[in-house]
């Protein structure tokens, strides 16, 4: 059930967006130890975002998961894998991107008509 939402102020072609979605889904799923069938990746391109007072390429992301996030070691491991993917596909350097991590309880998210609890 991991959900990764990425908001960026750059444009993406449909082809580039598909490539980015697939790579993020595969990499984050493996890092979290979650089946890809539960992965949800959401990319919002062309957003109005200012970072450090400029509108140069930038973004922010949120990763929510039942487990797999929350510890400094795990969040750093995910960051080390995800930041280069975003820079490769979008040209956004690591010093212009934030990722927030949220560890959800199984009762806090539903799928197919019921929570994971």
50-102, pLDDT tens digit by residue?
Answer: 999 999 999 999 999 999 998 999 999 999 999 999 999 999 999 999 999 99
Write down the domain spans for the chain: 3-59+66-106
Token pair for 71: 């510890």
Gap between the Cα atoms of 50 and 114, Å rounded: 38
Q: Is the pLDDT of residue 106 over 90?
A: yes
User: CATH for 3-59+66-106, among 3.30.1050.10, 3.90.1420.10, 3.30.429.10, 3.40.50.2300?
Assistant: 3.30.429.10
Q: Is 13 helix (H, G, I), strand (E, B) or coil?
A: coil
Give the catalytic positions in this structure.
Answer: 2
Gap between the Cα atoms of 41 and 47, Å rounded: 17
Q: What are the tens digits of pLDDT across the range 28-45?
A: 999 999 999 999 999 999
Q: What are the tens digits of pLDDT across the range 7-32?
A: 999 999 999 999 999 999 999 999 99
Per-residue model confidence (pLDDT) at position 84: 98
Per-residue model confidence (pLDDT) at position 1: 86
* Strands (DSSP E) found in 14-75: 40-44, 59-65
């Amino acid at each position: 059930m991991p959900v990764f939402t990425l908001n960026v102020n750059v444009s993406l072609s449909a082809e580039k967006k598909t490539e980015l979605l697939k790579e993020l889904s595969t990499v984050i799923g493996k890092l979290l130890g979650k089946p890809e069938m539960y992965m949800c990746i959401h990319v919002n391109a062309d957003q109005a975002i200012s970072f450090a007072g400029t509108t140069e390429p930038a973004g922010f992301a949120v990763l929510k998961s039942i487990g797999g996030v929350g510890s400094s070691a795990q969040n750093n491991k995910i960051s080390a894998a995800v930041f280069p993917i975003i820079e490769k596909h979008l040209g956004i350097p690591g010093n212009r991107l934030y990722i927030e991590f949220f560890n959800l309880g199984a009762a806090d998210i539903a799928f197919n008509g019921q929570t994971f609890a």
